[in-house]
């Protein structure tokens, strides 16, 4: 079983997560709904765009269900 590294973005002030919303980005409360970014730079850019750089970029490991790690 392989795993891939992804990144999520959390608002430091509210604790909410950046997530996809109707073709754009928004905020959600649940970790499981948070958007996954392939690189830390992409995650940082989303944090700057949505949260004016007041964001935490959190690395996570997820099971590679689609064979992306190969």
How many CB atoms sit inside 10 A of residue 28's CB?
15
Tell me the residue range of the domain where 29 lies.
3-63
Number of domains composing the chain: 1
> Residue 50 falls within a domain, yes or no?
yes
pLDDT of residue 31: 94
pLDDT of residue 21: 82
Q: What is the mean pLDDT of residues 48-63?
A: 91
pLDDT in tens, 12-36: 999 999 998 888 888 999 999 999 9
Residue matched to tokens 């919303």: 21
- 70 vs 29 pLDDT, higher one: 29
> Residue 68 falls within a domain, yes or no?
no
51: part of which helix (H) or strand (E)? helix 40-51
Residue 13, burial from CB neighbour count under 10 angstroms (0-12, 13-18, 19+): exposed
pLDDT of residue 41: 95
> Residue 69 falls within a domain, yes or no?
no
Question: Model pTM?
Answer: 0.84
Residue matched to tokens 């850019």: 45
């Amino acid at each position: 079983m392989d795993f891939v590294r992804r990144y999520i973005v959390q608002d430091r002030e509210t604790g909410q997560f950046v997530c996809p919303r109707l073709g754009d980005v928004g905020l959600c409360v649940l970790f499981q709904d948070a958007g996954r970014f392939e690189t830390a730079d992409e995650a940082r850019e989303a944090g700057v765009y949505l949260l004016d750089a007041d964001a935490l970029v959190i690395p996570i490991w997820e099971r590679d269900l689609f064979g992306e790690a190969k």
